[in-house]
Amino acid sequence: MKYGIIFYLFFLSSLLNSYGADEVVMMANRDYYPILHEIIAAAESEILIIMYQARTYPAHPEGVNELLYQDLFDAVQRGVSVEVILDASSWNLGSTFQNLTLAKLLREGGVRVLWDPPDVTSHNKMVLIDSDIVIVGSTNWSYYALARNNEISVMIKSPELYADVRSYYDKIRAHCTEELILDSQEGVSDENP
């Protein structure tokens, strides 16, 4: 694990040198949400997200997950366009149906939700904001990732990096659907999983 972190930091350093970042902020463990909260609160035009696993815990409205989703709803209310691509997996139905539960909540709050194809795993944990902010790392939006696990993500402010990552996002988005599709024959609606 130690060598993995060293490699990641070396890779990140090389990446930042080639893109000329205006700002870099490490978002480790419990620092992730407070930093993301501030960034979302300052968003002015667009928030784009790809998230492998995202969970909602309605029995715990005070929990970090529910606070994060409220931040997205507040952004929508301010006129910010918010779009989330969630992983849909035909081989991991438990994860997919938990993502479906969140999709319903997000749509109720005005967030546009898309699904990746079921034969491709979108393992990304990334957020793009306002043409210059990229957040990437290991942090899923689950209770354990946000409140218990050792996780690390990085916020990089760089219009150049944003442009390249946005192009990557758009390539994934081109294959996404608004309806959850688990096989080639049938979709699953938000009302009837």
Residue 193 located in a structural domain: no
Residue 11 located in a structural domain: no
CA–CA separation, 116 vs 119, rounded Å?
A: 9
By residue range, what is the domain housing residue 82?
21-188
Residue 50 located in a structural domain: yes
Residue 186 has pLDDT above 70, yes or no: no
CA–CA separation, 77 vs 182, rounded Å?
A: 32
pLDDT classification of 78: cutoffs 50, 70, 90: very high
Task: Quote the pLDDT of residue 147.
Answer: 94
Spatial strand order of the sheet with 46-51 comes to 23-28, 152-157, 133-137, 125-129, 46-51, 81-86, 112-115
Q: How many domains in the chain?
A: 1
DSSP alpha helices (H): ranges in the chain?
A: 2-19, 32-42, 64-77, 93-108, 143-147, 159-173
Residue 16 located in a structural domain: no
CA–CA separation, 1 vs 3, rounded Å?
A: 5
Cα 54 from chain centre? 8
Residue 4 located in a structural domain: no
Residue 6 located in a structural domain: no
Query: Can you give the pTM of this predicted structure?
Result: 0.87
Residue 140 located in a structural domain: yes
Residue 15 located in a structural domain: no
The DSSP line for 16-48 is HHHHT-SEEEEEEGGGHHHHHHHHHHH--SEEE
Q: For residue range 3-55, what is the model confidence (pLDDT) as tens digits?
A: 556 666 666 666 666 778 888 899 999 999 999 999 999 999 999 999 999 99
pLDDT classification of 1: cutoffs 50, 70, 90: very low
Q: For residue range 125-168, what is the model confidence (pLDDT) as tens digits?
A: 999 999 999 999 999 999 999 999 999 999 999 999 999 999 99
Identify the CATH number of the domain in which residue 177 sits: 3.30.870.10
Q: For residue range 79-133, what is the model confidence (pLDDT) as tens digits?
A: 999 999 999 987 888 788 899 999 999 999 999 999 999 888 899 999 999 999 9
